Amino acid sequence: MKKIKRTCVFLVILVIGPILSVACGQIHLDRDWRTASRTSANIAPSSNHPEAIVQIYSARAFNWRGIFAVHTWIATKLPQDEHFVVHDVIGWRKFSHRPVLASYVDTPDRLWFGNRPEILVDLRGKPAEIAIPKIVHAIQNYPYSSNYRLWPGPNSNTFTAYVGREVPDLGLHLPPTAIGKDFPANFYIFSTSPSGTGYQASVGGLLGLTAAWHEGIEVSALGLVVGLDIRRPAIKLPGIGRLGFPQD
């Protein structure tokens, strides 16, 4: 009976966050992708900014997917360029028989179909200039450039987490709602955490454990994350994300 009770409590913890995110009006289920806003959130600097820039963004996924998860992407700009290059994975590219991973010139901080992004990484100047070639190399070696699965991965968050592992200079700390971040590259069970400050074990993205300085302790079940951040005190819940100090 004790095991059954513990299992029930754990299942309640997994689903209470997504339910609350809908009840509190954080998720909009009535948007049409054809009319949803894709304007700039006015977070990124001007494209004529003289320095190199690396930014990583996160925004609630579109429609019902946003109940559980966020979508993440990477933007880079070399010092001599007057434009940003956005790098992301989008599943519906498969419908036109294209690779799901693409790099293209675009506004880096567009709303994700009406959902305002938040910035996870903001490197500028020399650190960004050093990081960009490493990011490009990681993108070229991403093992799932033509493969996409909404759950448990590989998806957009799998891609961003992969780049974070390959370029630890980024110090990438993905939110617990980045479902797919724990899907293992090349199906490895053991790897570093996306921030590069610890380690994780993951069985196909369905069951995993992360212990890292930036991520804290995270337990992943069916892609949903429950965790505790000690460095910047917070608890992590599915659907809701962090409750406590914001991540840096």
Asked whether residue 52 is domain-assigned, the answer is: yes
pLDDT score for 28: 62
Asked whether residue 18 is domain-assigned, the answer is: no
Asked whether residue 215 is domain-assigned, the answer is: yes
Angle between helices 126-140 and 156-166 (to 10 degrees): 120
Distance CA 192, CA 162 (A): 10
Of 117, 128, 144, the residue nearest 161 (C-alpha): 144
Of 213, 128, 134, 129, the residue nearest 167 (C-alpha): 134
Asked if 53 contacts 84 with a C-beta cutoff of 8 angstroms, the reply is yes
Mean pLDDT of 114-135: 97
Distance CA 164, CA 221 (A): 22
Asked if 109 contacts 43 with a C-beta cutoff of 8 angstroms, the reply is yes
Asked if 48 contacts 14 with a C-beta cutoff of 8 angstroms, the reply is no
Instruction: Give the pLDDT band (50/70/90) at residue 8.
Output: low
Asked whether residue 3 is domain-assigned, the answer is: no
Asked whether residue 8 is domain-assigned, the answer is: no
Range of the domain at 218: 27-244
Asked if 210 contacts 199 with a C-beta cutoff of 8 angstroms, the reply is yes
Of 167, 46, 59, 175, the residue nearest 110 (C-alpha): 59
Token readout for 195 is 């921030």
Higher-scoring residue by pLDDT: 119, 34: 119
Strands 118-124 and 190-192: unpaired
Asked whether residue 225 is domain-assigned, the answer is: yes
pLDDT score for 64: 73
Asked whether residue 13 is domain-assigned, the answer is: no
Instruction: Give the pLDDT band (50/70/90) at residue 7.
Output: low
Asked whether residue 11 is domain-assigned, the answer is: no
78 pLDDT above the threshold of 60: yes
63 pLDDT above the threshold of 70: yes
Distance CA 157, CA 88 (A): 9
Condensed to tens digits (0 to 9), the pLDDT of residues 209-234 reads 999 999 999 999 988 899 999 999 99
Instruction: Give the pLDDT band (50/70/90) at residue 27.
Output: low
68 pLDDT above the threshold of 70: yes
201 pLDDT above the threshold of 60: yes
Asked if 159 contacts 79 with a C-beta cutoff of 8 angstroms, the reply is no
Instruction: Give the pLDDT band (50/70/90) at residue 1.
Output: low
State how far Cα 46 lies from the chain centre: 24
Mean pLDDT of 172-186: 93
Domain count, the chain: 1
State how far Cα 75 lies from the chain centre: 13
pLDDT score for 31: 72
Instruction: Give the pLDDT band (50/70/90) at residue 4.
Output: low
Token readout for 143 is 């093992």
